[in-house]
Amino acid sequence: MGGLGKTTLARKVFGSPQVKEKFSTVAWIVVSQKNTLTNLLREIAKQIMDLGKGGLRRSEGESSSSLSIQKMNEMDELELKSAIFEFFKGRNYLVVLDDVWSTDDWEKICHIFPDNNNGSKILITNRDMNVAKHADPRSTPLELQVLSNAESWKLLRRKIFPRNHEFKMDHYTKDLEALGRKLASRCGGLPLALVVLGGLLRRNVNCDSWSEILDTMNWESMTNGQRCLGILALSYMDLPNYQIKSCFLYISIFPKDCLISPGKLIRLWVAEGFIPNNERSALEKTAKGYLNTLIERSLVQVAKSSKTGERVKKIRIHDVLRDWCIEEAQKSGLLNIINIEKEMKPSLMASNDNRVAIYNTNLDNLHASSFGNSRTILTFGLNSDGKSKNMLDHFNLLRVLDLQDSSGIQFLPEKIGELIHLRYLGVRNTEVTKVPSSIGQLLYLQTFDARGTKITKVPISFWKIQSLMYVYLPCFSENVPRNEITQNLHKLYMGFTLVNHRIKWLMLYNLLQQQNKLVSLTIDVAKGLLEKNEANEKKKSTNTECHIPLDLISLFTSKKDLQFLKLYGVIGKFQYCDLERCFPENLTELTLKMSNLYINPMGILGKLRYLMLLRLGIGSYQGTSLYCFAGHFPQLKHLSLEWKFISKTWEVQDGTMPKLATLHINGCFYMDKIAIGLQHLTALKELRLSDIPPKIEKRVIKEEGEDWPIISHIPFINLRRAW
């Protein structure tokens, strides 16, 4: 039965600190009925061999696999099975296989997991007890039971009245509780039904509203599964407007159990026209409000939050809710999902739907003319032989085209400029190398995402598109015009190649000078150097080509809306007075890598009143001592010192970082001790020490180490040694 909490329980195990400490390799694989064996094997290989952003956590020091995505896509089932088996050999792994429907599904993949006799585990979730017993007859499967009435009310009450929810307890009467208990008992003990119902009830905490909900449904004639869907339908109908209903249904366009970026989802909503067209600057704010509403009503789950807890980084939708959304969306003609490799029905080879999601498909199998009326095409697992030059011939009505992670797509055709309605264009992690000049004809384009491609420059006409709001480029080219540049950018991400660097800085200076709405900015000068020679960080960090000019950084202080800043490059030659002019006062998150600073940065960064997250990464500080002064970092919640941080001593004064909740120290081999004064950080809830040398490990041994007295107040301490 769906909605019992099988996947939720498995996720808690998968994400627990004990699992991260015990297993060197972990992976989460969604099996499901609609996945082909070949695509399932490809997904496993992609995750464990680090061919994408999968669920792998590899031991430090292990090298990446030489297998490329292109090579993987050319392998047959036997080759894939062999490659996966060899990778797992000798490793201590945990693999979660979520939603295994049949014994056949298990038999097809069970032989890729070697028994290394080292404690490796496979965790299976399924709805059929026979599948579990077949997979391992020696163990007793854990069969989840429905909740009792008392447990149901306890869960429902927690969802209606969360700890951080402002609620006047004088509204809580015996009559209200009696109604709540009745409603809880009607859910058949299904946690999913209770969670969704809680999101609905918390909107109006009064007897009249709750009585109406109790009387609306014919509870007695429904099975448990039907009750769950009935509650979902009620919650959906209670959403405040048509736009947010469309936004909710639209989420089902993503694959089952997919971790969805809220930023990408919001940009898609805006491009689709779901967000009321008020002032452009308010579009994103309205969309975020819609997402928060769906989260508050438990229609969408938060899968990952930022270190500070202030931002949602990943969301997901329960598969039962997703199935309901797909059915509802297809009824209304909102979208259609096509999985050609799994279902070769002729009806699925063509679609007149407005929005189409294409799963696990070869581009050459698609009849492009059948999608002539589509306004959206999102692909997941699209493959191509690179010869499909006419793929855009019939897509003149498109508003959204997202080819992210597609294999074999090496270019954007010149005809892209004919898609005059296009608002969103995504080619992230594809093999595209060139942007045609016709892109400048896309006068309504809002988002262009080309991260992870080999694009080296974009046409001058691109920067003149006045509707552009979100631009993500792997590198920055020097052909930026001096005039007519769009002034509406909200987010800008770019890396730098080490060619004509000075010219590029001048162009970037001109571009940034005209942007007053930037919220997020990433400048990556060091990435190429880091990849070329991982063994010699110090030499790389002093390379003059890796410097970020002071004139450019000085522009940041005038960017009042800039909240998220990442700088990967040398700023180490700046004087103290120069650094004070580098960081805008409203920053909430800052990441520095390869900065090569020789003066204590904490004296400057500590004055940023709204800073909540600070990462000082590899090569960020070359000094031998680090000081955090009293009264500094008033809002900081997460601090990360990463990978060969040079400082030997670190002193924390009483009164600094009063809200710091998490501290991560990773591979700081030069440090003699954890920190002086760490006991002053009384709000600290979590300390992670990753890849630390033996001398530090000895100092933090519980009850015995020299540094134990200053960290004993921290509830959670996670230690991971380097050797």
What average pLDDT does the segment 443-467 reach? 90
Q: State the Cα–Cα distance between residues 143 and 271, nearest whole angstrom.
A: 44
Please report which helix (H) or strand (E) contains residue 151, including its range: helix 149-160
Q: What is the pTM of this model?
A: 0.79
Residue 368: closest CA among 392, 344, 340: 392
Residue 541 has pLDDT above 50, yes or no: no
In angstroms, what CA-CA distances link 502 with 170, 397, 505?
66, 41, 5
Residue 246 has pLDDT above 70, yes or no: yes
* Arch. (CATH architecture) of 242-327: Orthogonal Bundle (1.10)
311 exposure class (CB count in 10 Å sphere: 0-12, 13-18, 19+): middle
Domain 6-135 has CATH 3.40.50.300: yes
Q: Residue 551: pLDDT band by 50, 70, 90 thresholds? A: confident
Cβ-contact 515, 492 below 8 angstroms: yes
Q: Residue 95: pLDDT band by 50, 70, 90 thresholds? A: very high
Residue 500 has pLDDT above 80, yes or no: no
Return the domain boundaries, the chain: 6-135, 149-237, 242-327
Q: Residue 63: pLDDT band by 50, 70, 90 thresholds? A: very low
pLDDT digits (tens, 9 = 90+) for 13-36: 988 878 877 887 888 888 876 677
Name the one residue in this structure whose structure tokens are 């201590």.
92
Name the one residue in this structure whose structure tokens are 């997460």.
638
Residue 609 has pLDDT above 90, yes or no: yes
Q: State the Cα–Cα distance between residues 291 and 306, nearest whole angstrom.
A: 16
